[in-house]
Structure 1
Amino acid sequence: MSFQHHLFFCLNKRDNGNECCDQHNAFALFDYAKKRVKELGLSGPGKIRVNKAGCLDRCSEGPVMVVYPEGVWYTFIDTEDVEEIIQSHLIQGRPVERLQLA
């Protein structure tokens, strides 16, 4: 089964107190993206898949997600940022430059 876009959200949690995406509300933002993609009718085979990921090794830039097949890395703060990524990148095909990681 293939997808037009595959989103991987880092949901890593470090128990030792070191910085991680979990400390930046990553799980709630993952839940929001998964819910919105489904509400918009964008989920399913040949469409968009929203996945949990372990550490993506960008801890100091978190929370982070990567969108494939383009390999675009994002950081985001709130649901408005995630919504912008969904509307601009996933629906309109225009990556959101202001949220991209180098």
Structure 2
Amino acid sequence: MSGFYDIHVFCCVHQRPAGHTRGCCADKGARALSDLMCRLTMAHGLRRVRVNHALCLNMCEHGPALVVYPDGVWYAYRTEADVREIMHEHVRHGRTVRRLLLDPAVTPLPH
């Protein structure tokens, strides 16, 4: 193993101005959900997993959004249950959560 972390999770918590046409992850509860992901990582003793707040991941319409590296897997999540599922399935066991997946084959990039 090299580096400090085996898994790095970036959770968008970006705040756009009120009424912005694309919306923003912050207005959809991203900060609290990201904080839950951090707490779950600590509660499970996952010292080689790092969860960071990120600014815009450019998936505003689909968010809150997060990306898990080194896998490069993107998720849209809305609830604490979604966060717990991503933590259990992907972060802890390496299994993609298909129902929350932001798939580049079907999710259009913003203009």
TM-score per shorter chain, which class?
A: over 0.9
Q: CA RMSD in A?
A: 0.9
Q: For 1:7-18, what aligned pairs fall within 5 Å after superposition?
A: 7-18=9-20
Whose relative contact order is higher, 1 or 2, with alpha carbons under 8 Å and at least 6 apart?
1
TM-aligned CA deviation for residue 77 of structure 1: 1.0
In the alignment, what sits opposite 1:101? 102
- Structure 1 length as normaliser, TM-score? 0.93
Aligned length: 99
Q: 2:69 is matched with which residue? A: 68
Runs of 5+ unmatched residues, structure 2 = 104-111
Using the alignment, how far apart are the partners of 1:60 and 1:97 within structure 2? 19
Could you tell me how far 1:17 is from its partner in structure 2? Answer: 2.3
The answer to whether residue 6 in structure 2 is matched with residue 4 in structure 1 is yes
Give the counterpart of 1:34 among 31, 38, 57.
38
Identity %: 41
Amino acid at match of 1:8: F
Residue aligned with 1:38, SS:
helix
Tell me the distance in 2 between the aligned counterparts of 1:16 and 1:28. Answer: 19
Give every structure 1 segment of 4 or more consecutive aligned residues whose post-TM-superposition deviation is greater than 4 Å. none
Structure 1 segments unaligned to the other structure (5+ residues): none
Partners of 2:76 and 2:18 in 1: CA distance:
23
What displacement does 1:90 show?
Answer: 1.1
Structure showing greater radius of gyration is: 2
Find the aligned partners of 1:98 and 1:83 in 2 and give their Cα distance: 14
